[in-house]
Homo-oligomer: A and B are copies of this chain.
Amino acid sequence: MQTKENIQNIAPYQPGVLKAGAIKLASNENPLGASPLALAAVKANLDKLQLYPDGGCVRLKDALAEYYGLTPEYFLPGNGSDEIFHFITAAFIRPAERVLTAEVTFSEYTFAAKLFAGAVDYAPLQDGKYQLAEILKKITPQTRVIFLANPNNPTGTYFSATELESFLKEVSGDTMVVIDEAYAEYAAAADYPDSLRLLKTFKNLLVTRTFSKIYGLAGLRVGYVIANPEVIAYLNKTREPFNVNTLAQTAAAAALNDGDFVRRSRENNAAGKKYLYAEFDKLGLKYYPTEANFIFVYIGQDCAAAFQKLLERGVTVRPMRSFGIRDAIRVTIGTPEQNQKFSAALKEIL
């Protein structure tokens, strides 16, 4: 067979490790489970499995429109945000055109670029934080898409509304700026951007969000992009007709109304964050302040070895070696019991 170099060069994604009986703090899932309203919606639609999904995601787009106070034409759902990133590179990247992102960030931006034979430039972080000024410096005439995670995965840091707006003013309208807000619902900082407010000013702005995190629906696969209707209509051309399954559509629409579950998830996360910060402080470990549901912490030893030792003690976390960092792990903020178990295991291995 005749293979393509850009595909041969794709390195496989490294998913979080599952181990029977171990608590999983490796994939930033919601430790409280799935939204109860979403689960009820799934149960109410089990008689429709033999039918194709609504190819237009009409009810979900209507629900999103109502939730955000926009019209349905601003939304496009995907089979997880991962698929949305492919829509974007399919739509905007020709072979050898460039994607720009940060050095330590979500790996799927690079994958989406490579799938369409794009090249990727990386700007350095500082103290785990995106440096938007550094990103501006890396823009070339061939840069068609910029991916920015806010909060960033795996560091949990964020950039502010002021930083974002200043950045957008410097970027040409021919370069699309994608803000991946997978963890936005956890962000508590007062100056975290209300990025949707900027859509009308910046026609090249795209915001992605997901039901995999705070809504607890990672297993069903549904994310979405919010952008101006002309961008959405164009992206829609790259979409398979039935890309979001029936149960995902109905669960997601119901989850948007589950304010109680979102509130409880935020409260659990805030309490867990405070607890883990205190534990890390006691242990003298450096960590980055997080606006997400996970913490990036330096552990002063090889993370692959630490991962194994924690696994032996019944806890899975994410070693940061795949991000090029030798001595840090990323741990999902769990339930109080999970956090205590993780903390106890961590003390043992240090």
Q: Report A46-63 CB contacts with B as 1/0, cut-off 8 Å.
A: 111111111110000000
Q: How far is the CA of A1 from the CA of B2 in the complex (A)?
A: 33
Q: How far is the CB of A225 from chain B (nearest CB, A)?
A: 14
Residues of the B chain whose Cβ atoms lie less than 8 Å from the Cβ of A137: none
Q: Chain B: which residue is nearest A86 at the CB level?
A: B240
Binding-face segment, A33-41, A323-331, A339-347: A33-41
Interface size class of A (residues with CB under 8 A): 35 or more
Residues of the B chain whose Cβ atoms lie less than 8 Å from the Cβ of A248: 245
Q: How far is the CA of A316 from the CA of B220 in the complex (A)?
A: 29
Q: Is A131 an interface residue (CB 8 A)?
A: no
> Cβ of B220 and Cβ of A1 under 8 Å apart?
no
> Cβ of A33 and Cβ of B50 under 8 Å apart?
yes
Given contacts A12-B237, A242-B221, contact A49 B216 (CB under 8 A): yes
For residues 216 through 268 of chain A, which have their beta carbon under 8 Å from a beta carbon of chain B?
216-221, 230-231, 234, 236-238, 240-243, 245-248, 251
Residues of the B chain whose Cβ atoms lie less than 8 Å from the Cβ of A34: 49-50
Residues of the B chain whose Cβ atoms lie less than 8 Å from the Cβ of A27: 51-52
Given contacts A7-B91, A79-B243, A203-B1, contact A49 B251 (CB under 8 A): yes
Q: Chain B: which residue is nearest A4 at the CB level?
A: B94
Q: How far is the CB of A217 from chain B (nearest CB, A)?
A: 6
Q: Is A284 an interface residue (CB 8 A)?
A: no
**Copies of this chain, tallied across the complex:** 2
Q: How far is the CA of A13 from the CA of B203 in the complex (A)?
A: 26
Given contacts A7-B90, A219-B246, contact A51 B79 (CB under 8 A): no
Q: Chain B: which residue is nearest A81 at the CB level?
A: B240
Q: Is A191 an interface residue (CB 8 A)?
A: no
> Cβ of A55 and Cβ of B234 under 8 Å apart?
no
> Cβ of A80 and Cβ of B237 under 8 Å apart?
no
Given contacts A46-B39, A238-B115, contact A219 B24 (CB under 8 A): no
Q: Is A83 an interface residue (CB 8 A)?
A: yes
Q: How far is the CA of A238 from the CA of B216 in the complex (A)?
A: 26
Q: How far is the CA of A242 from the CA of B85 in the complex (A)?
A: 13
Q: How far is the CA of A158 from the CA of B163 in the complex (A)?
A: 61
Q: Is A300 an interface residue (CB 8 A)?
A: no
> Cβ of B221 and Cβ of A245 under 8 Å apart?
yes
Residues of the B chain whose Cβ atoms lie less than 8 Å from the Cβ of A30: 50
Q: Is A286 an interface residue (CB 8 A)?
A: no
Given contacts A10-B238, A221-B242, A245-B245, contact A1 B51 (CB under 8 A): no
Q: How far is the CA of A27 from the CA of B48 in the complex (A)?
A: 14
Question: Which one, B15, B50, B234, contacts A52 given CB within 8 A?
Answer: B15
Q: Chain B: which residue is nearest A95 at the CB level?
A: B95
Q: How far is the CA of A144 from the CA of B2 in the complex (A)?
A: 8
Given contacts A52-B218, A173-B1, A220-B246, contact A237 B46 (CB under 8 A): no
Given A16-B52, A108-B241; 12 other pairs, CB 8 A cutoff: A1-B92, A1-B173, A13-B55, A13-B240, A15-B56, A15-B241, A33-B47, A82-B243, A108-B240, A219-B245, A219-B246, A245-B245
For this complex, 9 residue pairs linking A to B, each with C-beta atoms less than 8 Å apart, are A1-B173, A1-B176, A2-B92, A7-B91, A29-B51, A33-B49, A39-B49, A111-B240, A220-B247
